[in-house]
Amino acid sequence: MRVTVITGSPHWNGTSALLAEKFIAGAQEVGHDIFRFDAAFEDVKPCIACNHCASHSTCVYQDAMNILNENLFCADAVTFVTPLHYFGFSAQVKAVISRFHANNAKLKQNKQAILMATSSKSDDWTMGGLKAVYEAMIRFLCWKDVGKLFATGCPSREVIEQSGFPDMAFALGKELR
């Protein structure tokens, strides 16, 4: 299975980076082919709603999305890994998702989707906005949710390392079918 993992943290060794690493290790252990796209370290311009893509079948921007798109089109599963930024995806992941617009027709196909997110807060409503956006997006794209992992109450790498969340991310990667 081909799995595209999109991360959104600007911290190489942050909490969501740990979840991504563990998920990838689990998925690779069972033989999945992984493409990792660290959005915070790539040149991804934000969508400006110019609709160039509607009349020219390509985005006006020629940036790192070209590489990601080729991997998205052939992926069987797409995993989003983000720190919670003001109750939603990080700006880096949001920029990637907004650019899906240029390829809606190509992306609307049978794919599996996974969402993993970290947050320093642990209130039961903390992930509500992120979950709603994710569920609306995959519904629109006709993708199937096969797992969510919300690592709440994890303000630092040291805290999340002491939790069960890294093991859960590994198991989620390993269970992907």
For residue range 86-121, what is the model confidence (pLDDT) as tens digits?
999 999 999 999 999 999 989 998 999 999 999 999
Q: How far apart are CA 21 and CA 106, in angstroms?
A: 28
Is the pLDDT at 54 greater than 90? The verdict is no
pLDDT more than 90, % of the chain: 90
pLDDT for the residue 135? 98
Average pLDDT score, the chain: 95
When mean pLDDT is compared across 32-36, 57-61, 138-142, the lowest value belongs to 57-61
Q: How far apart are CA 71 and CA 131, in angstroms?
A: 24
Tell me the residue ranges of DSSP E strands in the chain. Answer: 2-7, 33-38, 77-83, 112-118, 144-151
Residue 172: strand, helix, or coil: helix
Structure tokens, 76: 């069987």
176 with 27: CB under 8 angstroms? yes
Burial classification of residue 102, based on how many CB atoms lie within 10 Å of its CB (0-12 exposed, 13-18 middle, 19 or more buried): buried
pLDDT for the residue 58? 85
The residue range of the domain holding 91 is: 2-175
Q: What is the CATH number of the domain that holds 97?
A: 3.40.50.360
Counted domains in the chain = 1
Is the pLDDT at 56 greater than 90? The verdict is no
Mean pLDDT of 136-158: 96
Is the pLDDT at 55 greater than 90? The verdict is no
Gyration radius of the chain over CA positions? 16
pLDDT for the residue 65? 95
Is the pLDDT at 149 greater than 90? The verdict is yes
pLDDT for the residue 22? 98
pLDDT digits (tens, 9 = 90+) for 112-135: 999 999 999 998 899 999 999 999
